[in-house]
Amino acid sequence: MTSYVLKTLWRHRTRTLLTLTGAAVAMFVFCFVGSVQQGLHRLTTGADADRSLIVFQESRFCPTSSRLPEDYARRIKDVPGVREVMPIQVWTNNCRASLDIVVFNGADPDQIRRTRPIELTSGDWQTFSSRRDAAIVGRNVARRRGLKTGDQFSIGEISVQVTGIFESTVPAEENLIYTSLAFLQYTRGLDAAGLVTQHEVLLTDDADPDRVAAEIDAELRSGSVATRTRRKGAFQANTLSDLVDLIGFAHWLGYACVALVLSLVATTTVMSVQDRIKEYAVLQTIGVRPMRALRLVLAESTLLCVLGGSGGTLLALAVLGAGGFAIGAEGATISFQPSLGLAINGILVSLVVGLAAGITPAVQAASVPIVAALRQT
């Protein structure tokens, strides 16, 4: 059966190649959309998103507009359920949605090392801690910008010495650049001495995040700047609200790609069956049962879809892995990351669509009226 299906596809090699290419392109787009959705899901869910809080200035959005006193950290630390507070100064080159956003997070180097799920792949922590203008760069940023340990990197008012490259189990972390808090506070033009963008609050295991968030805002209500405290995942989802809507729309684009593959493969298979109606009648006269003819056509459509879809899926994973792409806004980033789940999903969708596309032409081939088909010229 395999050799017959392969010969059938090779018989119309131009049509087969065009169908494979169309399926590959559609699944390439489908996987790209899927990677964005997975990146958003990873950013807004999980232990880190649910068990830590972000204290931000009330009614502010872009990091450059939020200015909280650094000494709020002492008052926050006294709230029951708070394990640790990390003041963070955020600087970004673009508060609008961008595919090449650069985000600096300035914090205490010891706290960064202790609380962040990152591991240096080059450089060392001691150099990062000892130099005021030192920075450790996420792997994706380093890849996009062509940075390596020892380079000088400048953007806007910021100029840093790259003292390390890191990777992380949290993909969004790999789109950040970490510096010391003092460096960003006292960089010329930022005017942030004694101020921070936000306070990140790590909770004890038994703390109720919503209760602690309410108590923090109540504690700071008498301060010079009003605050709004939320879970980290909710804060990031709100920060990226415009992108969340756009990604939600892109979800339908993924479905459209699946429908395109279904239509393309089904059309090709129908044309193939109609070209060989007499051939299927001859097969039945020599003893090929209808169910076997049905399986032949299903195998043809499935093979077309799986080969094209798998090619598009693998190409998408390769591009995602090499590109280190991310989209962000207002200091939060969504990382486009390849994953085993994405690969399996792409191949399974190709398989299911291939079977669905072949059902109608397969039934047509299995129910060919022998006499009428043989009379066709």
Q: How far apart are the first and last CA of the chain?
A: 27
Query: What is the amino acid identity at position 233?
Result: G
Cβ partners under 8 Å of residue 260, min gap 6: 22, 26
**Amino acid at position 361, single letter:** P
Residue 58 in 3-state DSSP?
coil
Query: Per the confidence metrics, is the pTM higher than 0.85?
Result: no
Query: 108 CB contacts (<8 Å, ≥6 apart)?
Result: 86, 87, 180, 181
| Cα gap 75→229, rounded to integer Å | 14
Inter-CA distances, 283 with 9, 11, 109, 227, Å: 17, 17, 75, 77
Percent helix / strand / coil, the chain, rounded to 5: 55, 20, 20
Write the pLDDT tens digit of every residue in 327-358: 766 667 777 878 888 899 999 999 998 888 88
The CA distance from 274 to 364, in Å, is 9
Alpha carbon 353 to its chain's center: 24
Question: Pairing state of beta strands 326-329 and 118-123?
Answer: unpaired
* Whole-angstrom distance, CA of residue 3 vs CA of residue 119: 51
Position 94 scores a pLDDT of 74
pLDDT by residue, tens only, the chain of 377 residues = 567 666 666 777 787 788 888 889 989 988 888 888 887 777 777 666 778 899 998 876 677 678 899 999 999 999 999 999 999 998 887 766 666 788 899 999 999 999 898 999 999 999 999 998 999 999 988 988 889 999 999 987 889 999 999 998 888 888 899 999 999 888 876 677 888 999 999 999 889 999 999 999 999 998 888 899 998 888 877 776 667 777 777 778 888 888 888 888 888 877 776 666 666 666 666 666 767 777 777 888 888 889 998 999 999 999 888 777 777 666 677 778 788 888 999 999 999 988 888 888 777 766 766 655 556 64
Contact indicator for 61, 76 with CB cutoff of 8 Å = no
Rounded to whole angstroms, how far apart are CA atoms 24 and 17?
A: 10
Cα separation, 17 vs 208, in Å, equals 58
Instruction: Give every CB contact of residue 326 below 8 A, 6+ residues apart in sequence.
Output: 39, 99, 101, 140, 172, 175, 333, 334, 335, 336
CA–CA dist 49, 124 (Å, integer): 28
Residue 38, number of CB atoms within 10 A of its CB: 20
